[in-house]
């Protein structure tokens, strides 16, 4: 017997085993058929984005009523509109960072809860300065929800058909803007400016709670090395589609 044949074979490193397990999980995700679970997850996350758009545009139907009522000047109108966009920039950066560190689901739910709670607070605003402050804070939630939701939708989708599913998701935001215009034109003259903030707030709170029931993105879990948690989610997807790993 030669020394080469007698020498023990080196054991595979833990890093190699982890990489193989991660690749196996991703391969299983690619093989899971689209099921009702995928549809529900996309509808829930898409609903958060729909009301994100609603809250972004709602101020456009509030200002024509409040401007003469609170004697808001044209420069103040510009500041009020811009405050939300400044908040959205802050929210986009903050929640994108948070989603990488803490996960997609908690950050999407937190951003949705922020814009929903602040929408209800806007309905109770009694002055220009108060509404200005509330709209800025609400903008943080509005700006934070969409990039996190878009990432979650993309990571749930399989490589084949991902572009189509993501395009359908992206259409939700302009649809939300369109619906906001119709709702504002009809309801504000009938029920007052507060109704826009109430509609933007109550459904958002419900959606934020439902979001917390969605599982975390398996791809994010794999990227963080949390393979056991990712395995549990993949098994859940397989069970929902009637497919099990062999």
Return the closest-CA partner of residue 94 out of 142, 165, 150. 142
> What burial class does residue 54 get, using C-beta atoms within 10 Å of its C-beta: 0-12 exposed, 13-18 middle, 19+ buried?
buried
Distance of alpha carbon 204 from alpha carbon 187, whole angstroms: 19
* pLDDT by position in tens, the chain (length 246): 444 444 454 454 454 466 777 777 777 777 776 667 778 888 899 999 999 999 999 999 999 999 999 999 999 999 999 999 999 999 999 999 999 999 999 999 999 999 999 999 999 999 999 999 999 999 999 999 999 999 998 888 776 767 777 777 778 888 999 999 999 999 999 999 999 999 999 999 999 999 999 999 888 998 888 888 888 888 887 787 765 544
Contact 109, 8 (CB under 8 A): no
Return the closest-CA partner of residue 39 out of 30, 31, 29, 47. 47
pTM (2 d.p.): 0.86
- DSSP class of residue 216? P
CATH architecture for segment(s) 36-236: Up-down Bundle (1.20)
Distance of alpha carbon 117 from alpha carbon 237, whole angstroms: 32
Contact 207, 84 (CB under 8 A): no
Which are the contacts of 41, defined by CB distance < 8 A and separation ≥ 6? 156, 214
């Amino acid at each position: 017997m030669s020394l080469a044949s007698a020498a023990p074979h080196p054991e595979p490193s833990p890093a190699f085993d982890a990489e193989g397990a991660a690749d196996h999980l991703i391969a299983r995700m690619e093989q899971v058929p689209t099921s009702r679970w995928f549809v529900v997850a996309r509808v829930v996350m898409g609903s958060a984005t729909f009301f994100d758009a609603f809250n972004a545009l709602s101020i456009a139907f509030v200002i024509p009523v409040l401007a003469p009522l609170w004697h808001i000047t044209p420069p103040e109108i510009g500041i009020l509109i811009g405050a939300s966009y400044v908040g959205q920039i802050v929210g986009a950066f903050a929640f994108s960072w948070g989603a990488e560190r803490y996960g997609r689901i908690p950050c999407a739910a937190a951003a949705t809860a922020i814009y929903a709670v602040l929408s209800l607070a806007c309905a109770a605003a009694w002055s220009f300065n108060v509404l200005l402050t509330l709209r800025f804070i609400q903008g943080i939630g509005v700006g934070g929800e969409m990039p996190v939701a878009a990432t979650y939708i993309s990571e749930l989708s399989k490589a084949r058909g991902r572009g189509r599913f993501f395009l359908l998701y992206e259409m939700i935001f302009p649809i939300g803007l369109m619906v906001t215009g119709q709702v504002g034109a009809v309801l504000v003259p009938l029920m007052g400016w507060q109704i826009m903030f109430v509609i933007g707030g109550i459904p958002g709170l419900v959606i934020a709670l439902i979001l917390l029931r969605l599982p975390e993105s398996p791809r994010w879990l794999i990227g963080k090395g949390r393979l056991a948690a990712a395995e549990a989610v993949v098994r859940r997807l397989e069970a929902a589609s009637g497919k099990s790993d062999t």
